[in-house]
Structure 1
Amino acid sequence: MSEALGDLLDLLDLERIEEDIFRGRSRTAIVPRVFGGQVAAQALVAAGRTVPAARTPHSLHAYFLRMGDPDAPIVYTVDRIRDGRSFTTRRVVAVQHGRPVFHLSASFQTYEDGLDHQADMPPAPDPETLPTARESLPRYADRFTGPEIAERLLEARAAVDLRYAGEPPYATPGEPRAPRSQVWFRTNGKLADDPPPGAVWGDPLLHVCLATYVSDMTLLDSVLLAHGRGGWAVGDVVGASLDHAMWFHRPFRADDWLLYDQESPTSSGGRGLGQARIWTRDGRLAITVIQEGVIRVPR
């Protein structure tokens, strides 16, 4: 396991300060706010710690209410909405400085057999043939708003091996392309099959929380591609996540390659919509993701 991945796992290991109240911290941010994937993953950790281990998340729906302060702790309060025979529902509110910054509803299910079908996995290049972030980001340093941006991106993504199947938006600003993007990702190191001694959560919740963390990194790329925008790194748009939804269909491991196939069906009114499917390398549809974000052109 890489040091960066160990740090990310520590970030997700929330402090329990009451039965249904948890406290988390943030890592150094690329921009002066908490990374949305972090707060979503931490909120799911908080919810999961109040649910029997036999029940795993099958969906989450979340709203980003305010920019989080990366220098202040985040308090997560869990509301036990329902504990049924097969399903468990939790609501989580994340608070900073006395105000809610994030809201999550999550549903958990005990595994059961049922009808089973899925769409076909789209074609994609083999992940090992694609350049790593360390190999590719320096190529675009002259496009970024500052010489430190590439290193800040590398630091923020050090826990995750994320490889673009095509050119990222910041590679070709000013050139509109099809509103579709693919990335392969996995954690930068293997995760234990069993949780270590003293761990409060384990497999498969950990893998779901890590995928939730990564899901906010690139989902709106396809919106930028449609308009030839490079994103915040090149300074031609400003934006933030508004809401985020995920459905977890089949078991997966976050330390095995996962294909994040993303597209944008529309953007309007200062908002852009991204939708995606996440596939295991052997072709199983693991997750569906939809997100809307604010995307504005600086004046």
Structure 2
Amino acid sequence: MTNPAERLVDLLDLEQIEVNIFRGRSPRESLQRVFGGQVAGQALVAAGRTTEGDRPVHSLHAYFLRPGRPGVPIVYQVERVRDGRSFTTRRVVAVQQGRTIFNLTASFHRPEPGVEHQLPMRREVPPPEELPTVADEVRGHLGGLPEALDRMARRMPFDIRYVDRLRWTPEEIEGAEPRSAVWMRAVGPLGDDPLVHTCALTYASDMTLLDAVRIPIEPLWGPRGFDMASLDHAMWFHRPFRADEWFLYDQESPIATGGRGLARGRIYDRAGNLLVSVVQEGLLRPHTNAPSLERPYGEEAGGES
């Protein structure tokens, strides 16, 4: 498979090795730790495989406990906490080499009618077709794409386009608000299984959310002065969607203090319907050694070391 979207679908296709136990692949990559969105997406697949198909997930709450090792399989153990008339609850523990690296609680709800309201999408957002890809923006600034970033761009399962231009120097970030917005969609079709789309968007939700924490501190691309890692992650799914169609991920950071930063995100479709709400807290520590080079998406995710 050469299409990154196909590779993502394959990554989310877990092997069932017992009634409530599943095994997921972890690609052998050059990253220091497994991307947190991968672990969250696979854990949600494991939970969803043990529920009735008429109950889509409506929320998840997760903790990244230890960094996962690339190239080593991850085992997902599902506990069937509750099967009620309207709600189903599952708890998932991710284990790698005998150590728990992640846990997740997910709730599934049978659809029913109810009251309707939502916060509107931000105004005057340019459509994704009018915005450059991340690779094009980096290429335009640097006059080319470094080999490591070129490899990253070719294996990315999502097309990401920043609504606001990237800032490249300390002078450009002066006075910047802790807000960011990106258009995203899978780079190819993901099929028609709603669970795959939900888990793919869960994967994507961890890719850029902590950008909002960094924006007032340092340029997003270039030498990084902080170690960052996802600590916990929560999502609420409001409406059906397809992750291979454009969605706007509007992100903000209300606070960073005590070595941690909080980020919130709202995901809208092109018609302005609020699809998903996301909250995440991340570790934010100054480097004790030399700053790292340009970071691929997700390298900062996956639990504190």
The normalised TM-score by structure 2 is 0.88
Residue number in structure 2 paired with 1:24 = 24
Residue correspondence of structure 1 range 1-299 to structure 2 within 5 A: 3-29=3-29, 31-123=31-123, 124-141=125-142, 147-157=146-156, 159-168=157-166, 171-173=168-170, 175-176=173-174, 177-193=176-192, 202=193, 204-230=194-220, 234-299=223-288
Closer, same or farther in 2 for the Cα pair 1:96/1:43, shift >3 Å? Answer: same
Q: Could you list the per-position Cα deviations for residues 35-65 of structure 1 after superposition, in whole angstroms to 9, with x for gaps in the alignment?
A: 0000000000000000001010000000000
Q: Measure the CA separation in 2 of the matches of 1:33 and 1:143.
A: 27
Amino acid at match of 1:9: V
1:79/1:90 contact within 8 Å kept: yes
How far apart in 2 are the matches of 1:258 and 1:274?
18
SS in 2 for 1:287: strand
The answer to whether the 8 Å contact 1:163/1:185 transfers is yes
Count, aligned residues: 285
SS across alignment from 2:272: coil
Q: Is the 8 A contact 1:143 1:234 kept in 2?
A: no
**One-letter amino acid matched to 1:220:** L
Matches of 1:273 and 1:155, distance apart in 2: 30
Q: What is the rounded CA distance, in whole Å, between the counterparts of 1:140 and 1:65 in structure 2? A: 37
Cα 1:172–1:149, aligned 2, differ >3 Å: closer, same or farther? farther
Query: Among the aligned pairs, what percent are the same residue?
Result: 54
- Segments of structure 2 that go 5 or more residues without pairing to the other structure are 289-305
Measured in 1, the distance between the counterparts of 2:246 and 2:163 equals 13
CA deviation after TM superposition for structure 1 residue 210, in Å? 0.8
Does the Cα contact within 8 Å between 2:57 and 2:109 map onto a contact in 1?
yes
1:220 Cα deviation after fit: 0.7
* SS of residue matched to 1:128: helix
Aligned partners of 1:2 and 1:189 also within 8 Å: no
Q: Normalised by the size of structure 1, how large is the TM-score?
A: 0.90
Give the whole-Å Cα distance in 2 for the aligned partners of 1:269 and 1:142.
38
Q: Deviation above 4 Å: which 4+ runs of structure 1?
A: 140-144
Task: Give the CA deviation at 1:178.
Answer: 1.1
Query: Cα offset for 1:156?
Result: 4.4
Segments of structure 1 that go 5 or more residues without pairing to the other structure are 194-201
Q: Note the aligned Cα RMSD (angstroms).
A: 2.0
In 2, the alpha carbon distance for the partners of 1:30 and 1:168 equals 25
CA contact (8 A) 1:244 1:289 kept: yes
Whole-Å Cα distance in 1 between the matches of residues 179 and 108 of structure 2?
A: 31
Alpha carbons of structure 1 residues 66 and 122: separation in structure 2 relative to 1, 3 Å = same
CA distance in 2, matches of 1:229, 1:272: 16
SS at match of 1:205: helix
Q: State the partner residue of 1:198.
A: none
The one-letter code matched in structure 2 to 1:3 is: N
Give CA deviations for 1:198-220 in whole Å, capped at 9, x if unaligned.
xxxx2x21111111000000001
Aligned partner of 2:303 in structure 1 is none
- Alpha carbons of structure 1 residues 75 and 173: separation in structure 2 relative to 1, 3 Å: farther
